[in-house]
Amino acid sequence: MYVADHMTKNPTCIAPDTAVSKALDIMDKNNFHRLPVVDSEGRLIGLVTEGLISGSTGKNNTSLSIYELNYLLSRTKVSDIMVTEIFTITPDILVEEAAVKMRSNNISVLPVVDLEGKVVGIITENDIFDAFIDLLGYHTAGTRFVINVQEDHPGILEELAGMFSEKKINLQNLAVYYTVRGVEVVILAKGNCPQMKEELTAKGYNVTDMLVRSEN
């Protein structure tokens, strides 16, 4: 999975001379929490967020009247408050690398830029969550098996896949986790196949969970 597959393409961007009041209006109307700031060529030069606006203009300062606040917001330019040191990523990077970058730097968004520094997308922590949910096939119709493997050894995945293949059951997703409980293999198989639990148990596998999800 690449960033290009899960980012918001061609996001709304603003110029540095945009009034903060205009930026807030764009955010409010579109339920945005941040906006990339670009130059005339579309290259990223800054980022403005709701938090920056509140902190820099006193938006939440109750000592200002609504008229004073509106005047302040209309006179303040985005360039006056935007951050210019921004972590970015390119669309050809794996999603997990984007996740690590966000986690390591305690940020929730990464503007996506091309080799010229032009904004081509934006990816947020919610996009990362959705990507991993898709990867695990959680919302995909079928039967989800969680299989605990006490003794890890070469050939386990081949054996498991072979068991499903013998029953003419297609595998849609497969993930392996190393936990304190041992190795856990999560398999998403197409269709409702409850007989596989008995088959797996008979082979010595411990099926700790089985969830059947129907088509919506």
66-70, 139-143, 144-148, 167-171: which range is least confident on average? 66-70
Which residues does residue 2 pair with via DSSP β-bridges, in sequence order?
94
CATH of the structural domain 137-213, one choice from 3.40.50.300, 3.40.220.10, 3.40.120.10, 3.30.70.260: 3.30.70.260
pLDDT at 213: 85
* C-alpha torsion angle, residues 192, 197, 198, 203 (rounded to 10): 130
What pLDDT is attached to residue 152?
76
What tokens does 63 get?
Answer: 């000592």
| Band (57; pLDDT cuts 50, 70, 90) | low
pLDDT(92) > 90: yes
Confidence (pLDDT) at 206: 93
Which of 8-17, 50-59, 60-69 shows the highest mean pLDDT?
A: 8-17
Could you report the per-residue pLDDT of 10-23, keeping only the tens digit for each? Answer: 999 999 999 988 99
Per-residue pLDDT, 71: 65
CATH of domain 3-133: 3.10.580.10
Residue 43 DSSP code: B
The full DSSP string for 132-198 is HHHHHTTTSSEEEEEEEESS--TTHHHHHHHHHHHTT--EEEEEEEEETTEEEEEEEESS--THHHH
Rounded CA separation 124/89 (Å): 12
Residue type present at position 86? I
The confidence band for 141, taking pLDDT boundaries of 50, 70 and 90, is confident
Q: What is the pLDDT of residue 1?
A: 85
Mean pLDDT is lowest, of 65-69, 108-112, 142-146, 177-181, for: 65-69
Stated pTM of the model? 0.78
Average pLDDT over residues 32-58: 88
What amino acid is encoded at 117 in this protein? G
145 burial type by CB count under 10 A (0-12 exposed, 13-18 middle, 19+ buried)? buried
Indicate the pLDDT class of residue 197, thresholds 50, 70 and 90.
Answer: very high
Per domain, the residue ranges of the chain are 3-133, 137-213
Tell whether the model's pLDDT for residue 70 goes beyond 70: no
The tokens for 189 are: 């198989």
Burial 101-119, CB ≥16 within 10 A → b, else e: bbeeeeeebbbbbeeeeeb
The answer to whether residue 47 scores a pLDDT higher than 90 is yes
Q: How far apart are CA 174 and CA 152, in angstroms?
A: 16
pLDDT of residue 186: 92
- Amino acid at site 14: I
Cβ count near 179 (within 10 Å): 8
Whether residue 61 has pLDDT greater than 80? no
CA–CA dist 177, 140 (Å, integer): 20
Residue of 200, 185, 194, 202 lying closest to 210 (CA atoms): 194
